[in-house]
Each structure stands twice: as structure tokens, then as C-alpha cells.
Amino acid sequence: MTSTWKLTAHAPKLVVQAALLAHDLVDDWDYELVIAGREEAEDKPDDWVLEGWFPRKPGKVEKAALSGLFDGPAPKITVEELPPEDWVTLSQHYAPPIRAGRFHVHTPDYPADPDLIDFVIPASQAFGTGQHKTTAGCLEMLGHMKASGVIARNVADIGTGTGLLGFAALALWPRALCTLTDIDAVCVGVVEENARLNAVPMGGSAGEAVMIVADGMDDPLLQLRGPYDLLIANILAGPLVSLAPDFAKAVPPGGSLLLAGLLAGEQEAAVKRAMHRAGFRMAARLQRGDWAILWLRRRRVR
């Protein structure tokens, strides 16, 4: 296993959030350079860090790309080589279980909760173990949608990562068709293993999940299996804005759209505007930390 290199920049919360928003708007970003922002510590909510990970030793180009996300003078960027280990897996291995509405999600290190809909999701290279507030918020919103009377017969989870949100939808609507997609091919093996661990059947029939490697909605099988009366997309604000017209084509009037991966504030406002133009209206909203989770419905034709 090769080493990973980490770039780090410390700045106030609003500065880092503005840099994340700028990243969403860069069309030619080198996606080998993966970035994320977070609090430095729970007791310092206004002190944030912008982190980037690169599979090779970063040079002037990678440092300049990270610095260019900041409006004005960029903070100092430090670079360190991480040991040749699966650092994502190690960082999540002992992550505590989470309870999100009707769901309990945990790694194999912890026991199941028989009183809730239980999922075991090992730490992996894919996003969506339930630890991030956006994933947990989507689980909560799915439960709220079910309690509100939503009927989902055909579900798509775009950018599924571990498969968790698609599995959760199948648990709530067990006879639905379920299509899972991700741009990253590594997710195929992750999803298949998680399906096995949670007794989620893989296949093309009702009550089963199909996994597709796809960039957004641009895939013939994904389009063939639509339209989707429940489409889930926990990705990033920039792609959500770009995909709004495609979502409108994939979700029929009265259908539901569950969106996450966007910061409350400017990112949320931009996504809402795009979805409104595409024919969606707000049904409900959750906020978990700095992250907004949106349930929208496609307007019915009168």
C-alpha cells in the first residue's frame, strides 16, 4: 500500500467554509486531491482546518490549488507524509455507533441494537459510514418521509458510497426497486460486501439493489430504470446545482428528492434556487451542525 500525503491549512470557520464553496465551483479541479473541512476540536467550534489528501508528494501545483480556494491571503499550508496504511479505515475503525431516527449504524466492533433498524457498516474507503452529519441527517429524514406517508416504489441513491442510504430506503420500503450509483469504482466491492453483511439482496427485482458506476445521471441503465419516486443524492453543492435539470427528468411529478452534502447558508441557497427552477418545492428541512438536509418534491402538473 502506498503512502498518502496530507496538506493542512488552519483558518476560522467562515474562511474554511468559503474555501469549500469555492472548491465546488472549480470546473477543472484535480480530484486526486481530495479536500474536506472540519472543526479542530469540539470545544473550539470557530477554529477550523482545511485538509487535502494526495496520492503522491504534492508540489507547487497542488499547494497553489489549495491556496487558491481562499479569498485573500491564504493561511500557511503544511505538508506531511502519512504512513503506508489505509488511513481512512484506521480513522473510522473505532468510530462509535450512531442513532439517527429509526436507524442504528455501527462498525463490527459494536453490538447491534434490536430495537432499531440496524446496519453494520465497516470502516472503508467509501464515504457514508453514518458518522458524517449529512449521512446521519439523511437517515433521519428518510424516517420522517416514511412517517409522513411517502410511498417509494423505485429508489435511486446517487453517490451511494457504502450503500447505506439505499439500504435504509429498502428497509423502509422493502418492495421497492433500488438503484445505487457512484462515480468511484472502488464502491462496487464496498457496497457488495455491505449488502452481504446486512442481508440486502443484490439484483434487479423488487426488494433488491443494483450497483452502477456512473457520473451523475449519465448512464443508460440508470436512465432506463427510472423514473424514481425517491431519489437520494448526498454529494456536494456544486454537482447538485448542475444536476438539477437531470433530477427533474428522473423524478416524476409528486416524487421526492432528498439532498445533502451542502452547507447551510450560501450553498443551501444556491441548491434551492437550482431545484426551484427545475420544478421542485421544499417539503422539509433538517440542519445537523453546519449541514442542511433537504426534502423536496417535484411539483405536480395542473
**Residue 36 burial by CB count (10 A; 0-12/13-18/19+): exposed, middle or buried?**
middle
Show the 3-state SS of the chain: CCCEEEEEEEEEHHHHHHHHHHHHCCCCCCCCCEEEEEEEECCEEEEEEEEEEECCCCCHHHHHHHHCCCCCCCCCEEEEEECCCCHHHHHHCCCCCEEECCEEEECCCCCCCCCCEEEECCCCCCCCCCCCHHHHHHHHHHHHHHHCCCCCCEEEEECCCCCHHHHHHHHHCCCCEEEEEECCCHHHHHHHHHHHHCCCCECCCCCCEEEEECECCECHHHHHHCCCCEEEEECCHHHHHHHHHHHHHHCCCCCEEEEEEEECCHHHHHHHHHHHHCCEEEEEEEEECCEEEEEEEECCCC
Q: Is 159 annotated as a binding residue?
A: yes
Distances (CA, A) of 126 to 35, 83, 164, 232, 233: 14, 19, 11, 17, 15
Q: Is 135 annotated as a binding residue?
A: yes
Q: Is 182 annotated as a binding residue?
A: yes
List phi, psi (to 5°) of 116.
Answer: -125, 170
Q: Is 46 annotated as a binding residue?
A: no
Q: CA 6 to CA 217: how far, in whole Å?
A: 31
Binding residues for S-adenosyl-L-methionine: 135, 159, 182, 234
Detail the residues annotated as belonging to a binding site: 135, 159, 182, 234
